[in-house]
Amino acid sequence: MLTGSAAISIRGLTKHYGKLTAVNHLDLEVQRGEVFGFLGLNGAGKTTTIRILLDLLRPTSGNAAVFGHDCQSDSLHARAEVGYLPGEMGVYSDLTGNELLAFLERVGGKPVSRNHRDNLTERFELSHRDLSRKLREYSTGMKRKLGLVQAFQADPQLLILDEPTEGLDPLMQEAFYNLLAEGRNRGRTVFMSSHVLPEVERVCDRIAILRKGEIVLLSGVEDARKLASRRVHVTFLQDVAVPASLPEGYKIIDVNPRHWTLSVTGQLGSLPSFLVAFPVADLTVEEARLEDVLVRFYRDGAE
C-alpha cells in the first residue's frame, strides 16, 4: 500500500458494454476521512464505478485504487479495506441474520468484535429474535438494517454505501447518521450514492455529479449550492408596482401587488439597496437546494 495515498484514486476509468459507454475516462480522488457523495440519475454510471472499485467488474481501460491497492491486480487487499452496502442486497434466504453476519465476517477475512456487532444490532433495533429468523422472513427495512450492520461490523477504513437509507424509517435514518458521524470523527472514509439529496447535504463534505458516465460537477456541498438560484419572498405593507428593470441575477417568478417571489443567482448583497425604496413588511430567503443543482446539470445543454 502506498503511504499517504488517497482513500479512492480513479484514473481514466472507462467501461464499455458493446456500443454503450457506461463510464467515460473518469478521474476522481476521494481523500481519507471524507464523506463523499456520488450522485446522478439511474444509468449515469454510479453502480458501474462502484462495482469496478470492488472488482465485481473489470474496466475497459483506466484503473482504480483503494488506499493505494489496485482494485484489479491487488483486489483482495483493496476489498479488505472496504465495508460495502449494495443498493439491492442479495441474501441467502435460508440463513438467519446471525448466520449471514458470521458468514460475511469469514469472507471479509477480518475478525469482528462481538461487542461492536452487538452495539450495531442494538442501534438498528435488530433483536436476538430477529437475528435468529430466516432471511426470507425479513422485511425490506430489516434487510437494509442488516446490510448496514454487515457493512460496519468490521470497522473498515472505507465504507462504500449505495442508497444506505432506502427503506429505513426516520428513527433508523437518524441512527445511521449518528453512526456515520462517529466514523467520520475516527477518520473513516465514506463513499456513498444516494437519491435522498437532503441526506447528502447533511452528511457529505464533497459531491460529484455523474452524467452519461462523466463527472459534470465536482464540488464541496456549500459551493455546489451557490450554483443554484435562491428564492426570495418579499411582502409589502401596501400595493407596489414592479420596477422596469431588476439588478443583474434577479428574476421575478411570481408577482402580485403586495407580494413578490424572486429568483436570485449569486450573492444577496445588493438586495437591501434594491428594496430600500419599497415599503417592505417581511422578507424570506429560501436557500438553494442540492436538487436544484442536480437538475441544472441534467438539463439538455448543461455545461
**Tens digit of pLDDT for each residue in 40-82?**
888 889 999 999 999 999 999 999 999 999 999 999 999 999 9
Question: Which sequence spans correspond to the domains of the chain?
Answer: 8-224, 229-287
Class of 8-224 in CATH: alpha beta
Rounded average pLDDT over 145-174: 94
C-alpha cell at 43: 444509468
Cell 465476517, residue located: 105
pLDDT range class, residue 14, cuts 50, 70, 90: very high
**Tens digit of pLDDT for each residue in 230-246?**
889 999 999 998 888 88
**Tens digit of pLDDT for each residue in 168-191?**
999 999 999 999 999 999 999 999
Gap between the Cα atoms of 30 and 124, Å rounded: 28
CATH superfamily of 229-287: Alpha-L RNA-binding motif (3.30.70.1560)
Instruction: Give the E-state strand segments of 81-236 in sequence order.
Output: 82-85, 158-162, 189-193, 206-211, 214-220, 230-236
- In the predicted model, is pLDDT for residue 297 greater than 80? no
**pTM of the full predicted structure?**
0.81
Q: How far is CA 9 from the centre of its chain?
A: 18
If one counts every other C-beta atom within 10 angstroms of the C-beta of residue 155, the result is: 15
Q: Can you name the residues that pair with 82 across neighbouring β-strands?
A: 158
